[in-house]
Structure 1
């Protein structure tokens, strides 16, 4: 899941640390959605009848129950120049929460009376909002931007001040970064974790010059994984699924022959990649593998195995579509001995 930050400040007694861009620019530090004011719940994942927001992680709740797990998993690298959203707009506060959040800032006068008065005009005195929209409690939310701090351009992309959206209504048309099922799908993509691509080799670790080395992946270890991202307050969600597609081998030296010649081993009908070596196959050509033509002389070759994953998403009110493929790879050391023929 991406590291998320939203508009916030820290209040310690009467000392307030605030940014002049608090309500007109990007965030400075807060993952909580709802619970930003007294009485909120920062750990839930739904909205209550009174309009209190209780989602997490940038207005978005993630379900990782079908994601890859364990210490060997890692994020996908999208193919091409595509990246997940650097920032997005999503619900943040109910009217009461918003009032409880901003009034201490104004009262502390840490951001200057002129700026504070501008904010009071905007959110209290009808230019364009009146009294924090308290009369609309339970009928909508105050929205703000969230920034994935992994992508610095996000600081420049989402700088609109807090704005109100009624329940069931669309965000303003001039805010293309507003959260939607498609945006959720892209955020879920960034949260997907897949297993390390450690292929099984035969011979394993040490092979011989001119002897085919078979390579394969077990379907039990490499199967589809998915992440669901949702905004309970808006009743929208999207599920992004990564499915193994093909394995690419790079032998780590030009003195090698790949099988197939492209080094691209497609997925089999049963979900596996390559074929396990069986006794008596020493003289056969492996459907997925490599033959080294020169010994390593003590310095191993780095055989790189990169698995390509197909990415597809579905979401609320839409069948979804494909997103760019993702890859994840790993190097494995292979020693090659100068022996022309062996018996298996």
Structure 2
């Protein structure tokens, strides 16, 4: 089969696996691997963009729509789920791979036989074809990456395949299940999601009273959807993971309390969680809140409010929103509960 025809067949096969689209992030001039350890990102005008970074090698993150601030933190998946601990993606140009491997061979710490085998594999003794130099610009050498924060995870050792070449526009070999995909990018973006901690507004403000309904609500402006986009510009694939607040669970911090509603779960209604207290409604049952049945004495109760975030992703070659496990993130606050003082006559 002529080379042109083979390339056309491969390209058609790849279309089903990696649909090529423009990545909606700041312009990124990516140098895969750099010194063999990561990648570089440059935005328009040569200025560093704090919202766009390349902390996972070939993967670039756009965090411009992520949660921020000192109180923001990562969501915890409600189910036993984690992103991949390792994956394969473009890492070296031919020149970069040569710069990475030759010093290793020169030291000889890996053994003469292994070095000789590797030199043959990468055609290192042919000055023109070494490391696919004659194909510069036609593809990249792929290698494994470990997801940041997962370095000690046993799954980080699952990517054992030697460095391999992939032509631009071709799918990676079928025997590489950890090759980066839009779905894996969505999972990596999930790990980068940051949401605000949960401190609910309470009324009455300050100390509350035994058997007095305490209203609770959340500032709708603070609890809004957040998202992170992960992309591999060299492959022109991307995925955006979005977290949207759905409900808040109230834990009064003591068994001597009742919650409103009884489940303790306050759903979002018309974009808000709970209802702000208004003067004159002290005796009404709040749509979201708590009633303490016993004083906190000289101390306070630790009320914990945990927001559940509905998470989904969209990305290259995918129709519509795809679900990911719900996430949770909460915070604690002190609540002082006092007895109502009666006057005896």
TM-score by length of 1: 0.82
Task: Name stretches of at least 5 consecutive residues in structure 1 with no aligned partner.
Answer: 1-31, 47-53
* TM-align CA RMSD: 2.2
Does the 8 Å contact 2:186/2:239 carry over to 1? yes
* Residue-pair matches, total: 298
1:207 to 1:157, Cα distance in 2 relative to 1, 3 A: same
Post-superposition shift, 1:122?
1.7
Instruction: Give the structure 2 partner of residue 137 of structure 1.
Output: 136
Residue in structure 2 matched with residue 20 of structure 1 by the alignment: none
Give the equivalent residue in structure 2 for 1:164. 165
**SS state at 2:332 partner:** strand
| Structure 1 pair 321–257 and aligned structure 2 pair: CA distance change class (3 A) | same
- Counterpart in 2 of 1:312? 312
Q: Which residue is equivalent to 1:58? A: 57
Q: Verify the 8 A CA contact 2:39 2:57 in the aligned structure 1.
A: no
Contact 2:56/2:147 (8 A) holds in 1: no
> In structure 2, the residue corresponding to 1:308 is in which secondary structure?
strand
User: Unpaired segments of 5 or more residues in structure 2?
Assistant: 1-30, 45-52
CA deviation map 1:288-342 (0-9, x unaligned): 000000001112111110000010100011134010000000111111101178x
Q: After superposition, give the CA deviation of every residue in 1:147-168 in whole Å (9 maximum; x if it has no partner).
A: 1253312332111111111111
Counterparts of 1:1-344 in structure 2, within 5 Å, are 33-36=32-35, 42-44=40-42, 57-124=56-123, 131-151=130-150, 152-269=153-270, 271-319=271-319, 320-339=321-340
Q: What CA distance in whole angstroms lies between the structure 2 residues aligned with 1:340 and 1:267?
A: 36
**In the superposition, relative to structure 1, how do residues 45 and 144 fare at CA in structure 2: closer, same or farther (>3 Å)?**
farther
Q: Deviations over 1:238-275 (max 9, x none)?
A: 00000000000011111101000000000011x11000
Q: Which residue of 1 aligns with 2:9?
A: none
The 2-side partners of 1:205 and 1:33 are apart by 55
TM-score when scaled to structure 2?
0.82
- Distance, in Å, in 2 between the alignment partners of 1:227 and 1:340 is 52
Which structure dedicates a bigger proportion of its chain to helix? 2
